Structure 1
Amino acid sequence: MDHPKIPLAGVIGSPIAHSRSPQIHGHWLKKYGIKGFYIPMDVAPDNLDRVIRTLPQAGFVGVNVTIPHKEKVLEIADLITDRAALIGASNTLIFRKDGKIHADNTDGYGFMKNLESAGSNWQPGDGPAALLGAGGAARAVIAALLDAGVPEILISNRTRVRADALQEEFGKRLHVFDWVQAGNMMDDAKLVVNTTSLGMMGKQPLRVPLDGLRPGTLVTDLVYAPLKTRLLEVAEEMGCHTVDGLGMLLHQAVPGFERWFGTRPEVDRATRAAALA
């Protein structure tokens, strides 16, 4: 009797125990009655190449990739999407039937979908976006915002040279502010985004003056532990629209799940509850 192969997917990082992705994908597999599994895998950098090349032989159809491997996997992939190449990182690998490894980046997609679901009236063309941070997450957000038509991005990072490097790469719609001037970016911003880990549980607080926030500005924090960071609390008090970072995690998972398991999942309240369980 010939048994069909059970499709396997997972998330690779180091460390990985904190990841909520297994809860999200596990919820969808159960909801849609798919006989598959999604597994967290703690893989050291030295083993990354060997592990990724071996997984398809064990029935894996793809994996998510997180810190510290998102840049390195581009060297392993056979095919790279334009957006992954532009961002310089991949969070989603698809193991194709022809044996090729296909790298994509869905972080920017997840970020924009999360903003759309916020229910505010914000439109990309409304005015400048103010961005805190210049790491990998910032790259994905910048690429998505420029693609959506945001006229100008004001960016500040604790180490200015990293923000300057992004300006050089992404062009003159980016304007760099010194970290001590980061609060001044918010005066004219229609969207404010924290892409740093500042304010996350166990990390330093975000100590940027927030008195420049204006009522009606859309404010989002990529940090989702805690769900309501101090940035979002203050923004709410000042009459801003706010959106937490969990939605980005949920929405970025959608394209990968669809490619691996053949069903496009829905992000709803039950998905959020599964991620927070």
Structure 2
Amino acid sequence: MSSKTKSNKKIKNDDGDSKAVVEDVDELERIGNMVKKIEGNTIYRHFYTTGDLHKWLEENHKTAKELFICFYRKDSGKKSISWEEVLDVMLCFGWIDGVRRRCDDESYCNRYTPRRPTSNWSFINIKKVEKLIEENRMKPMGLEAFAKRKVATAEEAYEKENRKLTGSLLAKFKRSKEAYKFYTEQTDYYQKVSSRYVMNAVREETREQRLDELIKASSKYERMDRFKPLKQQKKNITKATTNNSKSKRKKREEESESESEESDYESDSSSSSSSDE
């Protein structure tokens, strides 16, 4: 096995195998630079077959903390394993898929990690594992991860995934007429994930707080930040950071002026300034 290092990022090249896992180092570097990097050596790979991925997991599942897999879109004309095929293999080994990132017009990338005992099991994945068990494809580590799930059945998972606002929470939301009208005009998916976010909180106090978040966003004719598209989230974070920096700078300037004009309030001004940092 050989390895190449570019831009302080190691990419492993399995060039000894007739069915090479890594297609092209320069290609992977190009794709890799278009997704968010993390600390350490991030490995981006194309897998041509489920056998290639299966072999990699057999060799690395005990030590690897993550795996980034790049996929070509069907209309690109380029060969790669499909997302659906990868998901089945990952479930067999007790791994879970993360957020998908667009690379360019013909490719995207998914991050995969070993499943934590506390992670949620979706209705779809429970049904998939049940089928994989019937087909005798599950690995011991996959069965162990499945046995540790908190949600016992697919039906229970479905119920949790589709919980709607009810009772006093729904009544409270409806009292904010414009906010509720905006909410009901959103896509079914947004209504589903936002209501689930509110209803799946364990404590009543937390459910109230989350509902307040939803009402506040809806009253501004906006979606909750956590459910906005990724680009919009990043834009909001950048804007908030910029505004926060300007606010702090302005406050320090005002405090400095206050100190020179009214020496009696010096200690209060110093205290206020230090609390901003």
TM-score normalised per structure 2? 0.29
TM-score normalised per structure 1? 0.29
Structure possessing the higher radius of gyration over alpha carbons: 2
Q: Which structure dedicates a bigger proportion of its chain to helix?
A: 2
Q: Which structure dedicates a bigger proportion of its chain to strand?
A: 1
